[in-house]
Structure 1
Amino acid sequence: MCGFLRYLFKKKRYIEETDAMKKFLIVGLGNIGAQYHNTRHNIGFKILDHFASLEDLNFETQKLGDIATYKLKGRTFIFLKPSTFMNLSGKAVLYWLQKENIPLENLLIVTDDLNLPFGNIRLKTKGSDGGHNGLKDIQDKLNTTKYNRFRFGISDAFSTGRQVDYVLGDWTNDENSKLKERLDLSCDLIKSFALSGVNNTMNTFNGK
């Protein structure tokens, strides 16, 4: 009987581990509040909102953020828009990773990047925070720089001393006209991340 119980325990543990590997936490970084809705710094929120509109998903306010769940080909995507404001994003990320028992390699942070031209996308598996306070807090809370991040270029078209105004400024009319295609591509990248793996996704999408 003890042997049978050990078998059941191992089987249960295997099922739990297998299920965990099929769950993905997709975190869009941004600031809450209507005044930030269409700002460059909120591209993480914007990409997740676009995904939700395409797939008819609804976000619900839960602990430390708004959550939406999506299932595709045996994978479960948990989308998170932290309500902690950008600079304290790590608290929400760590909480939902632990709550949903999601392995670190299945985490994807979606964020803006001043060092990339407008609309360029780049997926990386590790790296520094690059001066981004949201990424810095995530790094501090996770105690590692080895986590997947999807960077969306917002360019650095600002004059000296105007960086804060620029990232917290609204998209221009020209940028807005080009965003739809870039948002569609971003959603395709997120699906590929879960279905095809990070390496294949980097090879397919980086530089587009």
Structure 2
Amino acid sequence: MPIRLIVGLGNPGPEYEQTRHNAGFWLVDNLANSLSGTRLQRDSRYNAMLAKTSIGGNEVWLLEPLTFMNRSGQSVGALARFFKIAADEVLVVHDELDLMPGIARLKKGGSAGGHNGLKDITAALGTQDYWRLRLGIGHPRTLSLQQQVADFVLHRPRREDQELIEQAIEKSLQVMPQIVEGKFEAATMKLHTA
């Protein structure tokens, strides 16, 4: 089953733009910039930044909810219902505390793992069975930082961590055509061994 909707998670506004929680936005922004003629534009129907594009000949929606993280499902659910996009045709790109910076992992389904954006999308879609691209941001404990998780995700990463996250985004963009085509095994193999 090919991917028809790629969702980047983050919080709107310049004060959040460079924070770890916006890693999903970073990837979708980079993806849009890499595709000729693709520009994310504000769409009030879905309260999101939205673009319709083509990747490897497949028509795909790119979406960044402008609802704040905890209400991401409002935008995702509305667009998926209107265009009859099934949960397994959705890829959600998000920051992942349980992975170190520089690591990206693809998986289908599973729990939200405390990620409020995923919780809201699961509620909106009525299932956990959508694809996730998890971008490692590290955890304050594993990075030896004295911060609470809520504070950690809403701050900019250190320069060295930012560079690693950008490398993971670049690796993810290289396998995006395979992901969109539904060649998940090949994409996973390449992404997880890169």
Partner of 1:61: 42
Aligned length: 188
CA distance in 2 between partners of 1:143 and 1:102 (Å): 13
CA distance in 1 between partners of 2:184 and 2:69 (Å): 25
1:168-179 matches, within 5 Å, as: 168-179=154-165
2:8–2:28: 8 Å Cα contact kept in structure 1?
A: yes
Q: CA deviation at 1:140?
A: 1.3
Partner of 1:3: none
Bigger radius of gyration: 1
1:23–1:78: 8 Å Cα contact kept in structure 2?
A: no
Q: Which amino acid aligns with 2:34?
A: L
CA distance in 1 between partners of 2:3 and 2:170 (Å): 22
Q: CA deviation at 1:130?
A: 0.2
Which residue, out of 118, 125, 129, partners 2:112?
129
Which whole-Å deviations, capped at 9, do the CAs of 1:164-208 have from their partners, x for residues lacking one? 111100021112333443222121232221125223322221354
Partner of 2:32: 52
- Aligned Cα RMSD in Å? 1.8
Which residue, out of 20, 25, 35, partners 2:5?
25
Q: Which amino acid aligns with 1:166?
A: F
Give me the TM-score of the superposition, normalised by structure 1: 0.83
Which residue, out of 150, 166, 182, partners 1:164?
150
When you count helix as a share of all residues, which structure comes out higher?
A: 1
2:3–2:179: 8 Å Cα contact kept in structure 1?
A: no
For structure 1, the residue ranges without an aligned partner over 5 or more in a row are 1-20
Confirm whether residue 198 of structure 1 aligns to residue 184 of structure 2: yes
2:95–2:136: 8 Å Cα contact kept in structure 1?
A: yes
1:52-201 matches, within 5 Å, as: 52-56=32-36, 57-62=38-43, 63=45, 64-158=47-141, 159=145, 162-201=148-187
For structure 2, the residue ranges without an aligned partner over 5 or more in a row are none
1:27–1:109: 8 Å Cα contact kept in structure 2?
A: yes
CA distance in 1 between partners of 2:134 and 2:61 (Å): 19
CA distance in 1 between partners of 2:179 and 2:137 (Å): 22
> Helix, strand or coil for the counterpart of 2:62?
strand
